[in-house]
């Protein structure tokens, strides 16, 4: 049970970009390493996901962080893959300002008019199908929208920057990695680092009551610390390291084509490693802005119902007026 809670929370920021899985050849060539800055000159790491709260509400927020080099600006646009519909509407509008928008999705190169071609219901990798079903079910229970449904991938400035299904599976086989093993490793890392976990009693109570707001408030404790959990696992793995290497390779190509304003739309959990790669390429960090993915009232459904019930039982007294 100790590992299951962080495992479920980590599925959201890390794995959704794998559905459906697929992109172009991703091998970090020697050419891609040219011009890197010595590690000693690299800046301090950044937070890309946080919880902003007050007495009335808690907000899960993701960042848009800018990096600049020789007239080129690169924005790392972090994302959680299920969120409020308004969150995705705001993201869609923000994408219009970029010369090119690099996006993650293993399988995204097969898009036609911004949509993935229909796939057969049966077949496919069992672990991938299971995780996708888990995330789909969670988004429905939490009453949230999904990135795949709400983001418009059809604009001409969208450029796919991820692995193909074939490449992804081959690399996982070579490294003996799976989606489950990665998520469980991340969960173990979170436990070892003492990352705050959701309260199991509150999680169960929220599930039994159907109170999606209470469940979201508990899950935020884990999701808000996603950077710390993933940073230790970045590097020689497929889900973070190899996919990020592919993204950087596409980024270099777009810069060579003369594009000056570039957005990188990847899950927030990828950004600590992407930032490290940008620093080594000589980019300097600029401004950072925050977008609200989940806006959750702390009162919750139960408190709202109690307040309504109290109002019925104790209606406000009518103001007496004197007769003339």
Segment 198-255, tens digit of pLDDT: 555 655 555 555 677 877 887 776 666 555 555 555 567 888 899 999 999 999 999 9
Cα dihedral 132, 296, 226, 243 sign: positive
Q: Which residue has the tokens 């969120």?
A: 83
Question: For 272-317, what is each residue's pLDDT tens digit?
Answer: 999 999 999 999 999 999 999 999 998 744 444 444 444 445 555 5
The helix/strand/coil state of 159 is strand
- Which of 166, 158, 146 is closest to 238 using CA atoms? 166
Based on C-alpha coordinates, what's the Rg of the chain? 22
> Quick one: tokens of 27?
């091998």
Closest by alpha carbon to 142, among 205, 84, 79, 202?
Answer: 84
| pLDDT higher than threshold 90 for residue 64 | yes
> Is the pLDDT assigned to residue 60 strictly greater than 60?
yes
Return the top range by mean pLDDT from 19-23, 62-66, 133-137: 62-66
Residue 37's Cβ-count burial label (10 Å; 0-12, 13-18, 19+) is middle
CA–CA distance, 91 with 79 (Å, rounded to integer):
9
Q: At what angle do helices 126-141 and 4-15 cross, to 10 degrees?
A: 100
> What mean pLDDT value characterizes the chain?
74
- Output the pLDDT for position 323: 46
pLDDT at 154 over 80: yes
Predicted TM-score (pTM) of this structure = 0.74
Burial letters 88-106, b for 16+ CB under 10 A, else e: beebeebbeebbbbbbbbb
Confidence (pLDDT) at 107: 75
- Convert the pLDDT of each residue in 122-138 to its tens digit: 445 555 566 566 667 77
Confidence of residue 31 (pLDDT cuts 50, 70, 90): very low
Write the pLDDT tens digit of every residue in 163-186.
Answer: 888 888 888 889 888 766 666 665
Candidates 155, 161, 152; CA nearest to 254 is 161
Residues 6+ apart with CB under 8 A from 59: 51, 52, 53, 292, 293, 294, 295, 296
User: What is the rounded CA–CA span in Å between residue 26 and residue 47?
Assistant: 27
DSSP for 176-195, written as a single string: T--HHHHHHHHHHHHHHTT-
């Amino acid at each position: 049970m100790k590992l299951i809670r962080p495992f479920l929370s980590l599925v959201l920021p890390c794995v959704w970009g794998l559905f459906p899985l697929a992109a172009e050849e991703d091998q970090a060539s020697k050419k891609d390493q040219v011009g890197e800055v010595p590690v000693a000159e690299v800046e301090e790491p950044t937070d890309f996901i946080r919880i902003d709260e007050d007495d009335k509400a808690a907000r899960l927020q993701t960042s848009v962080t800018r990096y600049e080099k020789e007239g080129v600006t690169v924005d790392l646009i972090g994302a959680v893959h299920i969120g409020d519909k308004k969150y995705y509407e705001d993201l869609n509008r923000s994408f219009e300002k970029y010369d090119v928008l690099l996006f993650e999705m293993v399988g995204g190169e097969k898009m036609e008019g911004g949509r993935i071609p229909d796939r057969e219901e049966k077949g496919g990798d069992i672990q991938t199908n299971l995780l996708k079903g888990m995330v789909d079910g969670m988004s429905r229970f939490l009453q949230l929208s999904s990135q795949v449904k709400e983001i418009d991938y059809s604009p001409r400035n969208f450029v796919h920057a991820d692995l193909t299904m074939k490449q992804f599976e081959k690399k996982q086989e070579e490294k003996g990695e799976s989606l489950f093993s990665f998520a469980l490793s991340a969960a173990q890392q979170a436990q070892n680092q003492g990352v705050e976990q959701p309260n199991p009693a509150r999680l169960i109570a929220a599930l039994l009551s159907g109170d999606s707001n209470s469940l979201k408030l508990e899950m935020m404790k884990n999701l808000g610390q996603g950077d710390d959990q993933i940073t230790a696992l970045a590097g020689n793995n497929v889900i973070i390291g190899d996919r990020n290497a592919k993204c950087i390779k596409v980024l270099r190509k777009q810069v060579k084509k003369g594009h000056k304003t570039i957005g990188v739309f990847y899950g927030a959990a990828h950004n600590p490693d992407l930032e490290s790669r940008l620093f080594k390429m000589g980019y300097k960090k600029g401004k950072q802005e925050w977008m609200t993915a989940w806006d959750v009232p702390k009162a919750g459904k139960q408190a709202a119902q109690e307040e309504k019930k109290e109002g019925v039982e104790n209606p406000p007294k009518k103001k007496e007026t004197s007769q003339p």
